[in-house]
Amino acid sequence: MKFTIYQESRPGKRQNNEDRVAYCYSRNALLMVIADGMGGHFYGEVAAQIAVQTLVEAFKREARPRIRDPFLFLQKGVLNAHYAIGDFTQTRRLNDSPRTTCVACIVQDNIAYWAHVGDSRLYFLRGGRILLKTRDHSRLQQLMEKGLINERQAAIHPERNKIYSCLGGPARPEIDFSRKTPLESGDIMLLCTDGVWGVLSDRSILSTVRAGDLRQSVPELFDRIEKKGGASADNFSAVAVRWEESYVDLSLDDTSFISTLAMNRDFVTTKLDIFGQDPNYKAELTNEEIERAVAEIHAAIQKYSK
C-alpha cells in the first residue's frame, strides 16, 4: 500500500474536546476511525475514546496482515464499542449513558469498506468531485429527504444537532455500510465530525481538501473553520487519506508518503491519543480520576476483545 494520511482534532471554543480520531495500518490493511462524543462532565470523551480504541485494538489483533472479512470486522467492532460504553455506564452507575457517533473505514487490496452511526461523515473524493458521502442519521436528513427543508434551512434549524442513531444509547444502533468501493490513484477519503461540515459547505470542503498535500490542506481547512465558527465553535476533527496505487514514483526521502511494502506481516502502526494524556486536556479531573477512568475504559474494551 502507498498513501498519504493526516489527522487532526481541535477543541474549537469548547473547554474540552469530546472528539476522538485515529488511524492504524498493517502491511496490507488500513483502518481510519473517528467519533464525536456526547455526554455531561467528561463522559462524552469517554464514549468516543471507547469507540475509537475498541476498533483500533481489534485491528491490531486481526490485521495479520489483512482483515479476513472487513464488513464483519466493522459490524462487530462498532457493536462491541456500543456494548462497552454500556458497561462503562453500569460501572459508573450513571443515570444516562454517554453516547457517540462513529465512522470507521477499512482499506485493503485497493478496496474501501466503511460503516457509520450518527452524523459524523465520510466524504469520498475523486477527480475534483464528491463522489460519495455518508447519510446522516439525523432528523434534518429525514426532513430534507422528504423535501420539507433545504440545505440552507437545515443550517439554522433548531433540531440540527439531533440524531436518532448513536453508540451508547438504550437502543441497538442503526449501522449503515458502504458497498465495496474500488480505489484509484489520487482518490481522497475524508472522515470528519459535524464540527467540520456544520461550519463549511460541501463545496468549501471539496475546494480545500482536493488541492495539494493533505498535511497543508487539512490544517488550512481547520483554520477556515476556526475563523468562521466564531465564539461558539464546536470541537472539529478529521482524518484524511490520499490513495496511490503504484510504487513507481515513491521516493525513499519523501516523508509525506507511507509505504507498507517492507513492513513485517505482524506489525501494526497506530496513531491514537489516549484519554487523559493530552497535555492540553482541561477537564477538572485529578490524576486519580483520570487513572480510574482509563482503567474503566480498558476494562470495558477488554471484555469484548475476543
With contact defined as beta carbons under 8 Å apart, do 229 and 12 qualify? yes
Q: What is the chain's mean pLDDT, rounded?
A: 88
Per-residue pLDDT for 122 more than 70? yes
- Calculate mean pLDDT across residues 42-47: 91
- 282 falls in which pLDDT band (50, 70, 90)? low
Distance CA 33, CA 241 (A): 12
* Predicted TM-score (pTM) of this structure: 0.90
Q: Which CATH class is domain 2-302?
A: alpha beta
Give residue 276's pLDDT: 72
- Rounded distance between C-alpha atoms, residue 155 and residue 160, angstroms: 7
Tens digits of residue pLDDT in 24-36: 999 999 999 999 9
Average pLDDT (3-13) is 93
Buried b / exposed e over 234-249, threshold 16 CB at 10 Å, is: bbbbbbbbbbbeeeee
Choose the weakest-confidence range: 133-137, 204-208, 263-267, 290-294: 263-267
Secondary structure class of 264 (helix, strand, coil)? coil
Whole-number Å distance between alpha carbons of 216 and 265: 31
- For residue 297, what is the enclosing H or E element? helix 287-302
Rounded CA gap, 271 and 258, in Å?
A: 13
CA distance 55 to 39: 21
Give me the pLDDT at residue 279, please.
59
H helices, E strands: number in the chain? 8, 14
- 85 and 300 Cβ atoms separated by less than 8 Å: yes
Q: Which of 69-83, 101-115, 137-151, 195-209 has the lowest mean pLDDT?
A: 137-151
pLDDT at 283: 59
Query: Which tens digits make up the pLDDT trace of 217-258?
Result: 999 999 999 999 888 889 999 999 999 864 334 343 444 578
Confidence of residue 114 (pLDDT cuts 50, 70, 90): very high
Output the pLDDT for position 24. 96
Tens of pLDDT along 152-188? 767 667 667 789 999 999 999 999 999 999 999 999 9
Mean pLDDT of 79-93: 95
Q: State the average pLDDT over residues 295-299.
A: 91
Q: What is the pLDDT of residue 219?
A: 95
Phi-psi region of 276 (alpha: psi -120 to 50; beta: other; left: phi over 0): left
